Structure 1
């Protein structure tokens, strides 16, 4: 449980005494970006990994990020690497991470693009209508840290990919119901042709449900998995070429 002194310390971190509030944001879609007061900030890669983990998982005890980021390292050495990463973050952006006892987290008020994308997507999945002219703004944009090869990112990456597919399917259904068939085709094709959506990698576990990409979507609240069956071309007419889909509106 967070104490009053911890909350006061977090407030001081984001709003330094005698200084104004400096907006901070962390972007993980398409690559790591840290922006402070409108300007890009460079962090060492080890520090980037720590910030990304906290952005995705939230508050953690120190042993959890140490074991996640350096799983093949002896515990004390992993904790030492964590302390080094924290020190480097504090040297560059002291208000980014808050340490409260044995737990660490991003400071309150730090904006994270993935969190905002998930909130918008879940709003659509729970029935919020989307304006036809702005439907692309509610779709998670870009893969999660595509150039990183960390194993701990696999589940987060797959969850966002499946979330994106579900949102696009819902949008296609919404547009069909409104008679906006051109937009429905655009949304459906975006789901089908997304270059970064890949089949799941085999994992050493016995649960057969983990073998299909749709099974991963069962973790999304209120959204049962639904198989996608691509339409078969009519035998009486040739299929419509997809390159003109964007002009059907």
Structure 2
């Protein structure tokens, strides 16, 4: 595809990489995909920094050469995908990305906390959506993925806490479940889910969550749930069996 990149140019980084221009998928090479992804996640970059991040295991000259080739192909494919100056390169102003939208929602949580928008299915799906750039294992991708997941977890747990405080057990449970998908072995998310079941009067479901979590902790990490979580489930009358010794 050639021609000017329109305002309908959309970059997908959550899940598998994809780009569509005027709703038409565009195929790019691996180098070009990485350039667009890094610019979308980190903003404008100096050429030397961009090249060094994307190709850290080669000489600066070869890295800059790879960057120039990638930028040339991007310009041929769709002028406007990138703005390439002499020293700095940025994503084109017309390019929208799903990560920018997600970060906008996370900023809303930080700034506004709970609100009517927080309980919409769109927001729930966005906050607990697919991981960043599935199947990519570059160091910079792992770093960005970890940062994004921490923000998602913080937002989901924050909203779930507010939902519990305001008596919305079902919403709290939905938020906690999305947090557990991101990080299954985190006591705080499991506690929120258990509390949501207890608030709704479903003690059996709360016990099932605890049992499943306890077995997985023992199998994968050789540890037990925290005393606080065990005490919480004990309020149902359930007495947890002794688990494996805690690793130190």
> Do the two structures share a fold, i.e. TM-score over 0.5?
yes
Corresponding position of 1:175: 163
Corresponding position of 1:105: 90
Corresponding position of 2:216: none
Corresponding position of 2:234: 234
Contact 1:121 1:138 in 2 (8 A): no
Matches of 1:148 and 1:21, distance apart in 2: 28
Matches of 2:167 and 2:184, distance apart in 1: 29
Matches of 1:44 and 1:167, distance apart in 2: 34
Larger Rg: 2
Unaligned runs of 5+ in 1: 1-14, 199-226, 240-249
Unaligned runs of 5+ in 2: 187-225, 240-248
Matches of 2:33 and 2:143, distance apart in 1: 19
Corresponding position of 2:102: 117
1:197 Cα deviation from its structure 2 partner: 8.2
Q: Is the aligned partner of 1:127 residue 2:112?
A: yes
1:101 Cα deviation from its structure 2 partner: 2.2
Corresponding position of 1:29: 14
Corresponding position of 1:146: 134
Secondary structure of the residue aligned to 2:84 is: strand
State the TM-score, normalizing by the size of structure 1: 0.70
Query: Please, which of 42, 49, 53 is the counterpart of residue 64 of structure 1?
Result: 49
User: What is the alpha-carbon root mean square deviation over aligned residues?
Assistant: 2.5
> Paired residues, what number?
193
1:82 Cα deviation from its structure 2 partner: 0.6
State the TM-score, normalizing by the size of structure 2: 0.70
Matches of 1:120 and 1:197, distance apart in 2: 25
Contact 1:139 1:168 in 2 (8 A): yes
Q: Which structure's relative contact order is higher, taking Cα pairs within 8 Å and 6+ residues apart?
A: 1
Q: Which has the higher helix share?
A: 2
1:143 Cα deviation from its structure 2 partner: 0.6
